[in-house]
Structure 1
């Protein structure tokens, strides 16, 4: 059973007509019919109910269609990844979520550029889910996010678990106390979470912190992105919970207080294609660890 047989079969199954499928495949109908017949002979089963109009799949055909789609998608993914690995020029395309940009990522990128001037770097802001699809499509080489997305084609490297802080108006009574806060201190305050879409997202991580402790915020306001959340905090519209690296995002009208809660952290996750072991990615990972060591940040070390 060859890939082309599966491609022909899927076209006929989706078009429900040999003539339309042949046009879609840019081949004549008689050769297409022969290829499908060869496939059925090899498998020893009928794949189509030829007496029905439009053409319908048999039970065996339905089973094969489901798995053929997956195999064809995987074949296209392998082709794209192999072509990218085989490129002569050295480049590294990086996807990142906005919250990682306020931490050490800019320094990591800058230091990598200084040490590897012959590698062309490009940066793309995208959600974790978008990074996974972009990795599989060969559009990026590495992603930095905060969500644990399971995919057999992707390897996740947990770099560190970043403590969370509360951002609140500097004039707020809780800010005036200048003490660490608990999640229970926040449930009666309007809580701004981000991003609003797509989900799951960092917003769900924050809400889970409350729900896991049997707490429910009285008012949750979903906003599109981090910058909007901080702007609304400055305007006195509520509080928000952010990674501790946001403390560097200084505004006179916004204060940041520590959370006095165990496991109130947000992971920083590096995602790459499974089996990827390029020298440039290894160098980038070592660069990350060096920056963490310079800053005396606890991290979890893995090797490619």
Structure 2
């Protein structure tokens, strides 16, 4: 009996390579080696008896036969993907959706979205995965996640995105810092700080914003990157190693000896977006995207 899930995975690799016109780019998005993608596509080609791609130094190009095959395969695999998204509990079929997060759920639009969706789909199973943004993007591209919340406004081929919020920038400071008692800071007042960036949260969007704004004053910000999560990043602030740029949603968490101070006049914001794969056929995903668009009206 053929391994249906294995064949589906091979199909996913081929479909993504065709959308990216590059096996290298597909491997980066999937988080696997380029040789793994190449080998699995070759196995798929041997199974079906013809080439899906023409390969050259410029990348890969889908053959006419390969184009027809991938179009038919997408339609045929849709139903199998739907079945794979469904679980059985006490004899009843329940749908499941997997969401990737990298920021706090203490307050803000994400917990509001989850709460509203659960009220609309009380029998749906929501599985939350916390990881860094690169992991979540790879999870969406590989199908391990149905949707991820990521900073900025990413543009990834084969994916849909929607900006769900724009938060003002805050700086996490030790309470002993001279600026910790202020309600709001001007950009030129934070030019000499060392900014700590972790693997989770709004790091990429924050570094872009800080670099752009401080360059207007002729300064280049100093960033230190640490492979730690949010809690230990705040602990580094407490140890006096620097400050942490973050969004307003993080300020809902109380950290001992830490102050959150707003930066700027509020016109510069940190965007937060939802991202999903356009070939994901989980019915709950369509419902969740519809809910977030209704909740987060631009």
TM score, norm. by length of structure 2: 0.65
Task: Give RMSD over aligned pairs.
Answer: 4.1
Deviation of 1:104 (Å): 3.9
Q: Relative CO higher for 1 or 2, CA cutoff 8 Å, sep ≥ 6?
A: 2
Which position in structure 2 is the counterpart of 1:255? 259
Aligned length: 242
Paired residues of 1:84 and 1:138 also in contact (CA < 8 A): no
Query: What do residues 178-197 of structure 1 show as CA deviations (whole Å, max 9, x unaligned)?
Result: 2311221112122212239x
Deviation of 1:158 (Å): 0.9
What is the aligned counterpart of 2:81 among 77, 80, 84?
A: 84
What is the aligned counterpart of 2:250 among 212, 230, 246?
A: 246
Query: What do residues 39-97 of structure 1 show as CA deviations (whole Å, max 9, x unaligned)?
Result: 8xxxxxxxxxxxxxxxxxxxx8637972249x69x949946655223555411111122
What is the aligned counterpart of 2:61 among 53, 56, 67?
A: 67
Determine the C-alpha separation between the residues in 1 that align with 2:125 and 2:145.
13
Which position in structure 1 is the counterpart of 2:125? 120
Q: For residues 231 and 103 of structure 1, do their structure 2 counterparts lie closer, same or farther at Cα, with a shift above 3 Å needed?
A: farther
Q: For residues 152 and 300 of structure 1, do their structure 2 counterparts lie closer, same or farther at Cα, with a shift above 3 Å needed?
A: same
Q: For residues 66 and 287 of structure 1, do their structure 2 counterparts lie closer, same or farther at Cα, with a shift above 3 Å needed?
A: closer
Determine the C-alpha separation between the residues in 1 that align with 2:170 and 2:256.
17
Rg comparison, structure with higher value: 1
Which position in structure 1 is the counterpart of 2:100? 95
Which position in structure 2 is the counterpart of 1:209? 209
Deviation of 1:226 (Å): 2.4
Determine the C-alpha separation between the residues in 1 that align with 2:172 and 2:128.
27
| Structure 2, unaligned runs of 5 or more | 1-10, 15-38, 87-92
Where does 1:18-33 land on structure 2 (aligned, <5 Å)?
none
Which position in structure 1 is the counterpart of 2:161? 156
Paired residues of 1:80 and 1:138 also in contact (CA < 8 A): no
Greater strand share, structure number? 2
Paired residues of 1:80 and 1:137 also in contact (CA < 8 A): no
SS at match of 2:148: strand
